[in-house]
Structure 1
Amino acid sequence: MLKIHYSLDFELTNSIRDMALPEELHIQVRNLILKTKKGSVLTKGDVIAEHPAPGGGAFHAAAGGKVTGVNYHNLVVNCTGGDETVSPVDVNSMGKGTELLRTLQSLGVDVAPLTGKAEVLVINGLNPEPGVSVAQQLLRDGREELRAGVALARKLLSPNRAVLAVPKGEQVAIHGAETVGIRAKYPYSLDALVVRAVTGKEFPEGTRVINVMDLYDLGRVALTGLPITETLMTIAGHNYRVPIGTPVRHILDLLGLVAGPGDTIVLGGPFRGEAIYSLDEGVKKTDYGLFITSSDAIPAVQDAACINCGECVLQCPARVQPHLISRCAEYERFEEAERYGLNSCFECGLCAFNCFARRPLLQYIRFAKAQLKAKGQQDAQV
């Protein structure tokens, strides 16, 4: 069994930097409900798409301009709209209830974790993956937004207890939440494991969890009344405020980064992120990092046969069988994959990272989940 320690510690040396606006935004709209069309003229903050999930947040234009292209994957906005933005909404004046939730959803907030009554609200303040330091940065530089986010979350959920989970030894506090230290090693930063560390239970009833990045967005919405149009990303050791839809090509050119032939560019983190298919691909709301992996550093993932080494099972913190799940997904036996623990997997990516055969285990798992979800939606419509 491999013994590798995936540290989440990061030495912050700078404040958050603003990424310059690109000439075009390439906003991913796959599987979203479009609310605009080619030729439309947008103001910064206009709604461009809604999420099909009941609690999913809407998507907004990060800049004003004209929609010059729309296809199944992307919506392209030519950024020529100036500094004009949509009018702010006073969410703090609204009472607790459906109106407030719908307003937050329309401003881009995922309200699924903020519905109903919670006994415990867990705030995940650990960096999500090695090499990504946005959570640590926000705990240092985003205190005002985080306090506003906690206040609004408490208003919606009325929890008996709010807990901020931070790396053990860190002296961090947010008004309205108690602080608990957790070992700063991956995968202990994942929501399911943070909740277990805080409550001592796995998937306890009456518990809601929200990460610091989402809490910061909630606080910014509460303070400004404006929609979410940016994401925070760790790139080459620094944290940037990046307009959603910014093409990767723009980021590389602006920062002087070079990707050679055969190199892999990953949006997100090194374990759970997704490799891009084009430098024109735009960043998403949940992309918290950008990484360039040399073709010489890590062997390429391939559709090789499983060698039954068992390393993925030994590494799995969810105690499922990734090798069997991936085989079922590979041959479209999705219901059988469920019997091996598909729905208990929280997609940490350790199985794929440690696979000696370099099988795309995480991709197979996500594929199986997506196919079962699509089947469930089709069955519901019949």
Structure 2
Amino acid sequence: MYGLSRRKRWPVRRRFLLPVPREVDMLKIHYSLDSELHNEILEIPAPAELNIQVRNLVLRTKKGALINKGDILAEAPSPFGGAYHASACGKVMKVNYHHMTIKCSDSETSVEPLDVQSMGTGKELLRTLQGLGVHVAPLSGRADVLIINGMNPEPGISAAQQILKDGGEYLKAGLELARKLITPGRTVLAVAKGDKSAIPGAETVGVKAKYPSSLDALVVRAVTGKEFPSDTKVISVMDLYDLGRVAVSGQPITDTIMTIAGRNYRVPLGTPIKHLLQTLDLPVASTDIVVLGGPFQGESVYSLDEGVKKTDYGLFIIPASQFPAVQDAPCINCGECVLQCPARVQPHLISRYAEYERFEQAEKHGLNSCFECGLCSFNCFSRRPLLQYIRFAKAQLQASGHGEQA
């Protein structure tokens, strides 16, 4: 390597092409998952129109159709993914590969509820839950240990903490249904150390409240002391809450809980971001970056017309001057992404294979072992979109039938 064999090799952290100020080299960032709750869950009013992301989904309606709240709009092609439902009544105005637009009406007609709690265990119950919008992968098959991940998913998001505080009835019903399907010998609620939250029927274990400790794989290791134990299943407290609401009401999932400007709101699925900003009087400059999700795993939006999805638990407005812009710059082989990676893969290598559409090579080098935590992109000195490349490769492999199914 250009004569490095004759010279002392510096540790990976010191391999920079440009001088790095000592203040940056010594910077210690603490990714705290602790949040302060200000109130109960607040309601966001229904918007004038819904924008539903339908890319890679199987459509179950068409342009011009009149729909009621709770009607199925699309289904996931994977064997475990939940269906997508209308969060309001209205008329389908536009459908393309990416989005479906629904003009909302004043009607409040909803689909008839199903008696989920009286159903026996087995495929019928799983298919019913899937048809009501529940992702059933964690509920399929038996396990000795069931772990409820009660950690806030990312810094700045307090949805999990809020649900543990306010979702008692639904969490209890969700756990009863989950235990009915999984029949675990041990049920554990993982929460941040010092958190006194509890769910009847589950023992409580404290986990260090520092990202990425909230990732499912790391929560499992913290609770069991093992990596990827075959006898363990994990479900997030947000999914358990949704499962309980489905069990109690018999109605499909049509909203999500989001942390916005430090408070938690119940947001109808498909609500355009601009409706949230206008309702909450949040100003956005043309140069700001708006992120759906969290600061590490979230995605910046290209339009304020984009609608909220099931797995969006936060909305952040990032001033343009706060972080250097992400760019398709060359990798400088500093190794920082490898040092930060909790999955112990090589993001710099995988992302380069993805960049040049060599997806099979990316898969061979640990693509599917990636947790998509976003630490690689966040810490990249070149500001490369590493997480986006990794997600792109996974999506392309899945679309071609070669990737792992969710």
TM-score normalised per structure 2: 0.91
- What runs of 5+ residues in structure 1 fail to find an aligned partner? none
Report the CA distance between 1:376 and its aligned residue.
Answer: 2.8
1:288 equivalent to 2:313? Answer yes
Counterpart residue type for residue 305 of structure 1: P
> What is the alpha-carbon distance in structure 2 between the residues aligned to residue 223 and residue 137 of structure 1?
20
Identify the residue that residue 71 of structure 1 maps to in structure 2.
96
Find the counterpart in structure 1 of residue 10 from structure 2: none
Give the secondary structure class of the aligned counterpart of 1:75.
Answer: strand
Letter in 2 for 1:220: R
Distance 1:42 1:374 in 2: 29
- Contact 1:147 1:175 (8 Å CA) reproduced: yes
* Correspondent of 1:310 among 331, 335, 339: 335
Residues 37-48 of structure 1: pairs in structure 2 closer than 5 A: 37-48=62-73
Identity %: 69
Which shifted more, 261-270 or 327-336?
327-336
Deviations 1:81-138 (A, max 9, x none): 5111111111001111111111111111011110111111110000000000000000
| Equivalent in the alignment of 2:236 | 211
Query: 2:112 matched to which residue of 1?
Result: 87
Match of 2:3 in 1: none
| Displacement of 1:377 | 5.0
Partner in structure 1 of residue 372 of structure 2: 347
Q: Secondary structure at the match of 2:279?
A: helix
- Distance in structure 2 (CA, Å) of the matches to 1:201 and 1:171: 25
Q: Distance in 2 between matches of 1:230 and 1:335?
A: 36
Residue type of the partner of 1:259?
V
1:33 matched to which residue of 2? 58
Q: What is the CA distance between 1:339 and its match in structure 2? A: 3.1
Q: Which of 114, 123, 127 is the equivalent residue of 2:148?
A: 123
Q: Does 1:61 align with 2:97?
A: no
Distance, in Å, in 2 between the alignment partners of 1:50 and 1:321 is: 34
Following superposition of structure 1 onto structure 2, how do residues 1-382 of structure 1 map, counting pairs within 5 Å?
A: 3-376=28-401
Conservation of the 8 A alpha-carbon contact between 1:268 and 1:289: yes
Cα deviations across residues 234-266 of structure 1 (Å, max 9, x unaligned)? 001110000000000111111111111221111
What's the CA shift string for 1:297-334, capped at 9, x where partnerless?
00110000111111111111111111111111111222
Task: State how far apart, in whole Å, the 2-side matches of 1:181 and 1:116 are.
Answer: 27
Contact 1:43–1:81 under 8 Å retained in 2:
no
* Alignment correspondent of 2:22: none
Q: Does the CA contact (< 8 Å) of 1:149 and 1:220 recur in 2?
A: yes
**Partners of 2:64 and 2:370 in 1: CA distance:** 42
Unaligned 5+ segments in structure 2 are 1-12, 14-26
Looking at structure 1, the residues matched to 361 and 372 of structure 2 have their Cα atoms a distance apart, in angstroms, of: 18
- Secondary structure of the structure 2 residue equivalent to 1:192: helix
Q: Is the 8 A contact 1:42 1:81 kept in 2?
A: no
Shift of 1:3: 2.8
Structure with max Cα Rg: 2
Quote how far apart the aligned CAs of 1:338 are. 2.5
* One-letter amino acid of the counterpart of residue 183, structure 1: K
Is the contact made by 1:66 and 1:81 (CA closer than 8 Å) also made in structure 2? Answer: no
Number of corresponding residues: 379
Greater shift, 337-346 or 167-176, is seen at: 337-346
Cα deviations by residue, 1:189-229 (Å, 9 ceiling, x for unpaired): 00010011111111110211100000000000011111100
Deviation at 1:352, TM superposition (A): 0.3
What amino acid is aligned across from residue 266 of structure 1 in structure 2? V
CA deviations on 1:161-206 (whole Å, 9 max, x unpaired) are 1111000111111111111000010000000100111111111102
Counterpart of 2:320 in 1: which secondary structure? Answer: coil
Q: CA RMSD in A?
A: 1.3
